[in-house]
Amino acid sequence: MKLPGQGDFESSDAHENAHSEEPDSGLGPGPGLNGPSGIDIGESQVSKDPLLFIQLNELLGWPQALEWRETGRWLLFEEKLDMGAGRWSAPHVPTLELPSLQKLRSLLAEGIVLLDCQAQSLLELVEQVVSGESLSPELRGQLQALLLQRPQHHIQTMGIRPCRESNAFRKASRDEDAPLKHQNPLRQKLPAGAEAAAVLAGELGFLEQPLGAFVRLRNPIVLEPLTEMILPSRFFCLLLGPPTLGRSYHEMGRAAAVLLSDPQFQWSVRRASHLPDLLAALDAFLQEVTALPPGRWDRTARIPPPKYLPSQHKRFPSKLQEVTSLSRQSAALAEDKHHHGPHTPIPELQRTGRLFGGLIQDVRRKACWYTSDFLDALHPQCFSAVFYIYLATVTNAITFGGLLGDATEGAQGVLESFLGTAVAGAAFCLMAGQPLTILSSTGPVLVFERLLFSFSRDYSLDYLPFRLWVGIWVTAFCLALVATEASLLVRYFTRFTEEGFCALISLIFIYDAMGKMLNLIRAYPIQRPGSSAYGCFCQYPGTGGNTSEWTSAKLKDTEDILSVQPGLVNASFLPPPECIRQGGHPLGPSCHTVPDIAFFSLLLFFTSFLCAIALKHIKNSRFFPSVVRKVLGDFSSVLAILLGCGLDTFLGLATPKLLVPTEFKPTLSGRGWLVSPFGANPWWLSVAAALPALLLSILIFMDQQITAVILNRAEYRLQKGAGFHLDLFCVAVLMLFTSALGLPWYVSATVISLAHIDSLRRESKACIPGEAPNFLGIREQRLTGLVVFVLTGVSIFLAPVLKSELMYQPKAPEINISVN
């Protein structure tokens, strides 16, 4: 049986999808998605009732030694005490037996109901409850002594304090409960003003008739022995009766606790005046209960809490709905006023009507936050964010460096990628309007670089000078866009535009990865069993001093030598019956069979991919502690890459390695760091470069501003504002700088920037079990990005570690062949 408001998973999924399908970009500050339990703004403003902690104490041991023992507790969800393990279960959605609710209603209808009870202590409360029962004086005394018996809590409280009224308790709780915080961690998670409710249930042999009592105290008092936490109690429920088959009173106690944990029932009971009001609230609860047919589900299965709770607004009584609707309207008007109306842009996107007016406004707006951008980074969370984003940035620099090296045939490489990422990224973090943005090479820009190089090669043009003029024109076009406040167009970017562009970037990554593997298969075909060719590497002394190099030779037979080139990073498939001399140098004292390069490359490729997927899914699994799951999920890609590289190194596989210069100089030999404006190109090419530069400018504008729109969504609750014009200006200046040095072009990287923001999320530490932590905002600062790019620059000296030579050490048995 599903309970109202807690098991409606379809509603929660729809609530989640509603946020992901918003048509507008939602720029500017506003409420986040992860509000407290998904409760409506109007509801939270109307219902000011304190949070209720409910504890179930069950009477056990009849007929030998009777004792009260804590067996369950509720806040939003149920937690059961595992007697054998001595620990609480994970919070879960409670499921009840329908007869237990019906028996509870009958027992309350015939039992004692005290609303606004004036009792000032547990003793007075017990006396009022027992005096209302038709029992003999002897049984009444036994029952009173039993109710005053101290229950066995899972977490024992120290000492017995006298009962206090809630006001006095709230004033002294901060000082008096300090030594108890280390004993009950749940106490620290409860909000200020929380109250308690005690439910006592069990079977008594000397009772002939069921005994039921429901008490609401006018002034909550601390019934300290009854609950594990020292909280003022508002409700008291007693359910006792003669022994019966099964655990009917245990289930009735759970039903009473679940009723008190329901927001609508609790709201109604707090305002009830008579018994019919209490029964009406219980009937309203029964009308919303969803029953599950027997035999169709496992009763022992525990339903985990939904990610988002459905709204409780429609479940409240009509009077509360009217007040809530008025509150919603006033909140909507205030929000429209805060957001300057539905058609009025946020301050960052208001037109000034002056040249560079938007840029000047961005500079003035961000200048007042510049000092706090560094002071706000003095938090331990920023250290973990630096480590996380550094690994992602270095991995991205290596990846794009290798792709650029292939796309430009060595005109650019890993060294340029590291240097450009460090310099451009650090400069952007210091000057940008949104310093949370991470600059990097992106898929669309990589495609443009590949096309530009192919055009230069096909028409015999000098690539780097031609690329310099393209960068100069792009800078001019982007500055023109900044001057005319073209960034205001981002107001018309919809969620479809953002998701479509992100999908394009993802497809480019996938296409490049698959294309790389297919090219490897074509270059080094996988050898089938029985093939006449097999791999061989021969070692021979090189001509440079005492060093030796690995050389591959590809032979069809013993007399056909296709190529023998010292130092060539290549694999060969040949059946050499003997080693052959070339230029007076023997090809080596021995030849070694080489495993299939393409096969092992594919093996590492799919191993890394599947490992990353598996680690990503561990984050939402039940394995390992939550901290370990979060680390494995966040660093899944990095760990998968390290695993693949470790296997490659440990097994000594003959796979293509990264081309990394061992010296601090450009990858392309024969050129300096500054690119000549003309080189071997004709002068008119500097003017013709404006055409591809126009296309690249549109690409840069879309890539940069779509990322900026995504990062400045209202759901992130950014307080320091955006800087669309200033960000585009910084990108334009950096385009000129990187073009002059022959470094890759950089623009905002969506994936890494979102990871950066996610690593700086601020969430409430005290959260109710089963409820997601409340999202408080983002730790906005400049220092994490700056440190990340400085570390990336230092990583340039890791070039020897990334050495590109094919250091293959064969594991197969050697085939020794004499040299004639």
Residue range 9-24: average pLDDT? 39
Beta strands in 32-93 (DSSP E): 52-60, 67-74, 78-82, 87-88
Residue range 811-818: average pLDDT? 34
Give the pairing type, strands 775-778 and 761-763: antiparallel
Q: Measuring CA to CA, which residue among 362, 431, 478 is closest to residue 739?
A: 478
- What's the CA gap between 288 and 106, in Å, rounded? 19
Q: What does residue 795 show for φ and ψ, rounded to 5 degrees?
A: -65, -10
Secondary structure (DSSP) of 648-689: HHHHT---------SSSS-SSTT--SSPPSSTTS-TTHHHHT
- What's the CA gap between 696 and 690, in Å, rounded? 10
Q: What is the pLDDT of residue 701?
A: 92
- More reliable by pLDDT, 183 or 574: 183
For the cut 70, the answer to whether the pLDDT of residue 459 exceeds it is yes
For the cut 60, the answer to whether the pLDDT of residue 472 exceeds it is yes
Beta strands in 693-802 (DSSP E): 747-748, 761-763, 775-778
Q: Which residues contact 481 (CB under 8 A, 6 or more apart)?
A: 487, 697, 701, 728
Give Cα separations from 374 to 7, 371, 384, 595, 781 (angstroms): 45, 6, 16, 53, 6
For the cut 90, the answer to whether the pLDDT of residue 693 exceeds it is yes
Q: Which two structure tokens, joined as six digits, stand for 259?
A: 């009723």
Whether 305 and 3 have beta carbons less than 8 Å apart is answered as: no
Cα dihedral sign, 757-758-759-764: positive
Q: What does residue 495 show for φ and ψ, rounded to 5 degrees?
A: -65, -30
Q: What is the pLDDT of residue 762?
A: 87
- What's the CA gap between 258 and 255, in Å, rounded? 5
Crossing angle of helices 597-618 and 636-651, rounded to 10°:
150
- What's the CA gap between 746 and 449, in Å, rounded? 12
33, amino acid identity: L
Give the model's confidence band at 326: pLDDT under 50 very low, under 70 low, under 90 confident, else very high.
Answer: very low
* pTM reported for the whole predicted model: 0.66
| 644-668 CB burial, b ≥16 within 10 A, e <16 | beeebeeeebbbbbebbbeeeebbb
| In the chain, % of residues over pLDDT 70 | 73
Residue range 253-278: average pLDDT? 90
- Note the pLDDT tens digit of each residue in 446-455: 889 989 999 9
- What's the CA gap between 540 and 581, in Å, rounded? 10
Give the model's confidence band at 76: pLDDT under 50 very low, under 70 low, under 90 confident, else very high.
Answer: confident
Whether 204 and 147 have beta carbons less than 8 Å apart is answered as: no
Cβ neighbours around 321 below 10 Å, total: 17
Residue range 83-94: average pLDDT? 82
Residue range 244-267: average pLDDT? 88
Q: Measuring CA to CA, which residue among 134, 249, 142 is closest to residue 202?
A: 249
Q: Measuring CA to CA, which residue among 518, 526, 517 is closest to residue 595?
A: 526
- What's the CA gap between 567 and 549, in Å, rounded? 6
From 139-143, 332-336, 380-384, 615-619, the region with the lowest mean pLDDT: 332-336
Crossing angle of helices 248-261 and 263-270, rounded to 10°:
80
Residue range 699-722: average pLDDT? 88
Q: Which two structure tokens, joined as six digits, stand for 431?
A: 């000057």
Whether 567 and 576 have beta carbons less than 8 Å apart is answered as: no
For the cut 50, the answer to whether the pLDDT of residue 129 exceeds it is yes
From 237-241, 487-491, 504-508, 702-706, the region with the lowest mean pLDDT: 504-508
- Note the pLDDT tens digit of each residue in 509-556: 787 778 777 777 777 676 665 554 444 444 333 333 333 333 333 333
Q: What is the pLDDT of residue 199?
A: 92
Cα 163 to chain centroid distance, Å, stands at 45
For the cut 70, the answer to whether the pLDDT of residue 672 exceeds it is yes
- What's the CA gap between 326 and 119, in Å, rounded? 38
For the cut 90, the answer to whether the pLDDT of residue 798 exceeds it is no
Cβ neighbours around 435 below 10 Å, total: 26
Whether 792 and 397 have beta carbons less than 8 Å apart is answered as: yes
Burial (CB count <10 Å: 0-12, 13-18, 19+), residue 559: exposed
Kindly report the CA angle at 174 between 168 and 177, in degrees rounded to 5?
95
- What's the CA gap between 773 and 778, in Å, rounded? 14
Crossing angle of helices 414-431 and 380-407, rounded to 10°:
140
Give the pairing type, strands 581-582 and 747-748: unpaired
Helix spans in 177-317 (H): 185-189, 248-261, 263-270, 275-287
Give the model's confidence band at 56: pLDDT under 50 very low, under 70 low, under 90 confident, else very high.
Answer: very high
> Per this entry, what is the length of the chain?
820
From 265-269, 325-329, 465-469, the region with the lowest mean pLDDT: 325-329
- What's the CA gap between 681 and 704, in Å, rounded? 31
Q: Of the ranges 3-7, 164-168, 611-615, which is most confident?
A: 611-615
Cβ neighbours around 767 below 10 Å, total: 14
- What's the CA gap between 635 and 612, in Å, rounded? 9
For the cut 60, the answer to whether the pLDDT of residue 340 exceeds it is no
For the cut 60, the answer to whether the pLDDT of residue 812 exceeds it is no
Residue range 325-340: average pLDDT? 47
Give the pairing type, strands 548-555 and 561-564: antiparallel
798, amino acid identity: L
Q: What is the pLDDT of residue 809?
A: 34
- More reliable by pLDDT, 282 or 23: 282
- What's the CA gap between 784 and 757, in Å, rounded? 11
- Note the pLDDT tens digit of each residue in 286-318: 888 888 888 777 777 888 888 777 766 666 655
Q: Of the ranges 513-527, 678-692, 721-735, 804-818, which is most confident?
A: 721-735
Q: What is the pLDDT of residue 733?
A: 94
| In the chain, % of residues over pLDDT 90 | 16
Residue range 154-159: average pLDDT? 52
Calculate the average pLDDT of the chain. 74
Q: What is the pLDDT of residue 615?
A: 83
Rg (CA), the chain: 36
Cβ neighbours around 561 below 10 Å, total: 16
For the cut 70, the answer to whether the pLDDT of residue 17 exceeds it is no
Give the model's confidence band at 169: pLDDT under 50 very low, under 70 low, under 90 confident, else very high.
Answer: very low
